[in-house]
Structure 1
Amino acid sequence: MQKLKLYQALAEAFVAEGVDTQFILMGDGNMHWTSALQKLPGIKTVHHRHEHCAVAAAMGYHVATGKIAAASVTCGPGLTQLTTALPAAVRARIPLVVFAGESPINAKFYNQEIAQLPLVTATGAHYIQAHSLPRMHEYVREAFHVARLERRPVVLGVPYDLQTLAPATTSPYVPSTRYIPNGGRPRPDPELVAALVAKIREAKNPIVIAGRGVLHSGAKSAVEAVADRCGAALATTLPARGLFDHHPYSLGISGGYATKLCREVMAEADLILAFGARMSYYTVDGGNIFPQAFVAQIDTAPRGLSEGALAANFFITADARVTAEAILTELDATLGAGKPTAATVRTNELAHRIATELPDDHHFEIAPGLLDPRAVIRMLDDVIPKDWDIVSGSGHQSYFNSQMRGRPPEKFCAIREFGAIGNGLSYAIGVAAARAEGRNGKVVLIEGDGSLLMHIQELETLKRHGLRVLICVLNDGAYGAEIHKFRHTGEDDSGAIFGRPPFEAIAQGFGLVGAEVRDLARVPGLFDEFAAQGEAGVWNFQISDQVVAPTMRRNVVRGHGKM
């Protein structure tokens, strides 16, 4: 009987940790491990054409499922390809474990050898050098423990000559979940709740902002009840967008992607109640969106100093749901059950404007044969069912699709914390792998032309794995952010203009379906055709390069030049 190899034992340990899908690019440093994992029951494997894309797809998979994600690359150049994906996962606080080969520990010379630990550490991810045979189970357990508890990516580096040895122990693997402390939901200090309620009672223009912490806590209903009880308008961070879209007083996204109306209302806010939100630079739009407000942050780990600025004026370190319930109780106790606060922000006029006004109504001249990207998104929002997943790419075009309404945050994947373009297709593959039972994933990627081209080879991954994704390219023939910055300063923009690639033909070259769209009346029929067949497809929307997103119009005026 063939003896168990270490790579097999390590693969079994990953399964014991709950891994059911791996995103990989195989090389000699990880080929034995990935093959062993692929053979285990219930494991789905997605083979990519670029290492960066394997990790980015794992990120999308986590956003779609909430599960810890697993990716794998080989040593040396395989690992160096991750130095853009890893910081994106770090800043988005995505728990994933990357199994990486290391060069053979006993080799005198190996041409792919590189010091992997400092490279990974520089990205903010955690690196584990697994060099001791007796401690291999401990290394895996530490990797998953750190990923889960700290919500950040971990790279487990195992020299590939060690992987082919027999494991030093035959003891059963004990998963990291046995070591995660369960202290219950952190409860708020009653004195702090009382002090905050005193502020709530007197606020005339309060606004509740919900972040991802509300989703993690299951606090949606409780937070919405707080807003209703104190007469507040509602808003969300970008990752939690859509959470309150059903509510007549939901303003949408706070921060750089806020609508014209949202900015108008927030400019008059005197109290912000931020539940489970980091209050990042983007959520507060660099401090410009609610300049008069007293900001209270309720979070399990609030930070007074966030990205160089004061995050809030008042902090409660506690769980979002428990704190919201405590606020409701305190309001009834001190104000009287059902008695209104001083809030006046909710009016019939505001509800009507929320329901009827466009996110951005600035006029632009659109040349014949080209489309306004805002109209493209409105059409897609009307045609695509609300239960389909929307994956948002990055860059200038990403503002437009963020304004889609009535889509739950669990069905909207937007990872933007590192500001890197080129990730959307990989994220969509990860979401599709999570949803594609029977190859019937209902996933739409909305992406820019420049960003999509950066990893266009992953169309072959879609085809090979039979993953059905509808890719809507907002094609302005340029790097949109850069041309608008050039034009604002009066500089030559030709260096950012590259022409309009025929994405429909590119898709067909990969064996997918494709269509060029210059008339939005075609979209309902195209969608019916797409839904009726099982292949991934690309719609090439020819959009005007004259339409400038509001966030870009503001930022270039401020001189930031950043999305």
Structure 2
Amino acid sequence: MTADIHVHQSIAKALADHGVDTLFGLMGDANLFMVDSYVRDHDGRFVPAANEGSSVLMALAYTHVCGKLGVATVTHGPALTNCVTALTEGARGHVPMVLLAGDTPVDNPRHLQGIDQRELAKASGAGFEQLRSPATASKDVARAVYRAQVERRPIVLNMPADFMWEKTTHEKHVLDVFTNPGGVAEGDTLDNAIGMIASARRPLILAGAGAVAARDQLVKLADRLEAPLATTLKAKGLFNEHPYNIDMFGTLSTPAAYDLIAQSDCIICFGASLHDFTTDQGKLMKGKRIVQVDVNPTAIGGGLHPDAALIADAGLTAETIVYWLDEAEIPSSGFTRDLDIEELTAHPAGPNKTGDGYINFVHALERLEALFPKDRILVTDGGRFMTEVWCRISAPDPHSFVPTVNFGSIGLGLQEAIGAAVAQPDRPTVLFTGDGGFMMGGINEFNTAVRMGLNLTVIVANDAAYGAEHIQFLDRKMDPALSVFEWPSFAATATALGGIGVEVRSDSDLEAAIDTLRGHTSGPALIELHLDPHDVPRMRI
């Protein structure tokens, strides 16, 4: 217990009590003194964003990449409304983070910026925690941190501005949290699942984001069964270097891998919710036995009903299955013995119809894949370009891959790339974004990356259009003019904002850009790929 201090100081001290060493945000009336105390009294690092929603996205990526709880702060009213898309992205992605949001004074119900902040947060899918009184400030911070970890979603802690200069007695409150629940599967359902697996001649193991921590156990099960391994998008990179890794499952599979999945007779799914993109709207699961293992009950049965559902820990369940297969002396399936993994993981390039003045996108991706260090952090925005990036640009592991697609929004990529780069500054971060996404959410934060001196390279896929809409007009033989835009030069803009910008319109331009950026680590750089809007590969989802 300490002597009386102000509430804004108690909140800052509570963050330090929880080991929060980085705070993303934008200051305003209701949080500026708390931020000041956090930086000056506790040596905290404050990353100032240009837009409030950006600070939430930065914190989400920070959580994902380094595994520590991301924390952001904004003031009240329009500051919080600017965060709705970002909070929804975090809630849909089950990412723990805390947003310290100021609120208008309790005694001024007609404040110009006053809104019902609880209802706003709830509408996004985030949780809401109220700072109840000056006396409970440290307890309320602890409660928000606790809930973010156990509920695995953003929690908004609402802080009335008129509390900030009230006095309180600070007490340290830190709730220890065990965040990996789940037991061992048992009973008839487990017996039935093992029976399905034991009788399968062509089993396949699918891992999602919920099974990332169980990699070793899943590999052991795959080796025991002689079963291929595949991942959902969010678990991209989990089985890198394994000889029977067929990479991503579903609409992002190679044609050969898609055919292999179609031939399988039993899919054993760990930590994967089996949505329409993974299952190709259920087509890939027809005629197969489906065993689904997940600690989250809501992940099972949403779009597809498995033949056996086990609410249990992925790793422990995989170990249990191996144990009983060995006890029963079940022979391996032999499914992997004649597989050609090189063929199964090769994405065809397709015809090159790129016009003059443009770079072929697939060729550019293949060159960039070779350029960037393997220990990269890969971030992708939403948009028409993204599926080719997912298929052709590698990530070393799922924690190094940040796809901003939980809410189907564009314009979130650069903000999350900043959070990823702040989380691990010694590693290169690479962002792929489209022209529309960069205009929507990139330009206003590129200078934030410059100010922070981040080791960040931004690749802008510029087809001078909102590409997904452009292709829909063309498909219906309509004039696509409304989807076409004359953007400014993104490379020149990046240079004007303090970074390095390079334009690419040809193979020779691309090689020159690669020479310019090879070994560059001092601040952000941007490569603008000018793409033919009529020759950008179609989305695979």
- TM-score, normalised to structure 2, is 0.94
Once the two structures are superposed, what CA deviation does each residue of 1:96-144 show, in whole Å capped at 9, x if it has no partner?
A: 1000110011236421111111111111111122232233233212211
Say if 2:315 is the partner of 1:315: no
2:155 maps to 154
Report if the CA contact (8 A) 1:428-1:443 is conserved.
yes
- For the residue of structure 2 that corresponds to 1:267, the secondary structure is helix
Q: Deviations over 1:52-92 (max 9, x none)?
A: 11111111111111111101111011111111111110000
**1:211 alignment partner, one of 203, 208, 213:** 208
Give yes or no for the alignment of 1:474 onto 2:448.
no
1:227 aligns with 2:222: yes
> Could you tell me how far apart the structure 2 residues matched to 1:186 and 1:242 are?
26
Q: Which residue of 2 aligns with 1:369?
A: 357
CA offsets, 1:523-555, max 9 Å, x none? Answer: 466445432451211100112222354545xxx
Larger CA deviation: 320-329 vs 198-207: 198-207
Aligned to 1:556: none
Tell me how far apart the structure 2 counterparts of residues 248 and 37 of structure 1 sit (CA, whole Å). Answer: 49
Which residue in the other structure is 1:388 paired with?
376
Indicate how the Cα distance of structure 1 residues 340 and 519 shifts in structure 2: closer, same or farther if over 3 A, else same. same
Q: Is the 8 A contact 2:100 2:158 kept in 1?
A: yes
Does 2:533 align with 1:541? no
Assess, with a 3 A threshold, how the Cα gap between structure 1 residues 85 and 352 changes in structure 2: closer, same or farther. closer
Confirm or deny: 8 A CA contact 2:388 2:539 kept in the other structure. Answer: no
1:198 and 2:186 correspond: no
2:440 aligned to 451, 454, 473, which one? 454
Shift of the alpha carbon at 1:219? 1.2
**In structure 2, what is the Cα distance between the partners aligned to 1:474 and 1:142?**
42
Tell me the distance in 1 between the aligned counterparts of 2:5 and 2:161: 16
Residues 392 and 424, structure 1, Cα contact 8 Å, conserved in 2: yes
Q: Please tell me the residue identity of whatever aligns with 2:388.
A: F
> Which of residues 498, 501, 508 is equivalent to 2:495?
508
2:492 aligned counterpart, secondary structure: helix
1:340 to 332, 338, 352: 332
Give the Cα separation in 1 of the matches to 2:140 and 2:268.
41
Structure 1 residue 2, shift from structure 2 partner: 10
Query: Equivalent residue for 2:242?
Result: 247
Pair 1:289–1:340, CA change in 2 (3 A): closer
Q: How does 1:286-435 map to 2 (within 5 A)?
A: 286-303=281-298, 306-307=301-302, 309-335=303-329, 339-341=331-333, 343-344=334-335, 346-354=336-344, 357=346, 359-403=347-391, 404-405=393-394, 407-435=396-424
Residue 251 of structure 1: how far off its partner (Å):
1.8
Question: Is the contact between residue 364 and residue 546 of structure 1 (CA under 8 Å) also seen in structure 2?
Answer: no
Counterpart CA distance in 2 for 1:22 and 1:401 is: 30
| 1:283 partner SS | helix
| 1:184 shift after superposition | 6.4
1:86 alignment partner in structure 2: 87
- 1:276 and 1:122 mapped to 2: Cα distance? 26
CA distance in 1, matches of 2:397, 2:515: 23
Indicate the SS of the match to 2:229.
Answer: strand
Deviation of 1:185 (Å): 4.8
Letter in 2 for 1:200: I
Q: Residue 186 of structure 1: CA displacement?
A: 1.0
Matches within 5 A, 1:34-49: 34-49=35-50
The offset of 1:446, in angstroms, is 0.9
Structure 1 residues 184, 60: CA separation in 2 closer, same or farther (over 3 Å shift)?
closer
Q: Do the aligned residues in 2 keep the contact of 1:248 with 1:354 (CA within 8 Å)?
A: no
TM score, norm. by length of structure 1? 0.90
Structure 1 Cα separation of the partners of residues 465 and 358 of structure 2: 14
Say whether the 8 Å CA contact 1:29–1:160 is kept in structure 2: yes
- For the Cα contact (< 8 Å) 2:16–2:42, is it kept in 1? no
- Percent identity over paired residues: 29
CA distance in structure 2 between the aligned counterparts of 1:407 and 1:8, rounded to whole angstroms: 41
With over 3 angstroms needed to count, the CA separation of the structure-2 counterparts of 1:2 and 1:247, relative to structure 1, is: closer
Contact 1:17 1:176 in 2 (8 A): no
Partner of 2:10: 9
Q: Is the CA contact 2:293–2:314 (under 8 Å) kept in the aligned structure 1?
A: yes
Q: Structure 1: how far apart are the matches of 2:85 and 2:108?
A: 29
Shift of 1:352: 3.8
Q: Deviation string for 1:284-304 (max 9, x for gaps)?
A: 232123322211111112337
Question: Could you say what secondary structure the match of 2:291 adopts?
Answer: strand
> Shift of the alpha carbon at 1:378?
1.2
Q: What are the ranges of 5 or more consecutive residues in structure 2 without an aligned counterpart?
A: none
CA contact (8 A) 2:58 2:416 kept: yes
Residues in 1 aligned to 2:242 and 2:64: alpha-carbon distance in whole angstroms: 24
Number of corresponding residues:
537
Q: Distance between the aligned counterparts of 1:184 and 1:125, measured in 2? A: 21
Deviations 1:339-397 (A, max 9, x none): 323x43x2435324135x3x244325211232222222111111111101111111111
Gaps of 5+ in 1: 553-562
> Could you tell me how far apart the structure 2 residues matched to 1:256 and 1:236 are?
12
CA distance in 2, matches of 1:241, 1:274: 15
Name the CA distance, whole Å, in 2 between partners of 1:509 and 1:198. Answer: 64
Cα RMSD, aligned residues only? 2.2
CA offset at residue 235 of structure 1?
0.8
**Structure 1's 325 and 137: CA in aligned 2 closer, same or farther, altered over 3 A?**
same
1:181-235 deviation digits (Å, cap 9, x = unpaired): 58965111154333222212221221111111222xx311110111121121111
- Counterpart of 1:176? 175
State the alpha-carbon separation in 2 of the partners of residues 525 and 366 from structure 1.
Answer: 20
From 152, 168, 183, the equivalent of 1:186 is 183
Select which of 486, 499, 502 maps to 2:473: 486
Give secondary structure in 1 for the equivalent of 2:356: coil
Distance in 2, matches of 1:314 and 1:547, equals 44
For 1:174, give the aligned amino acid. H
Which position in structure 2 is the counterpart of 1:559? none
The one-character-per-residue Cα deviations of 1:302-329 (angstroms, maximum 9, x if unpaired) are: 337654x224221111111111111111
Which letter does structure 2 place at the counterpart of 1:26?
M
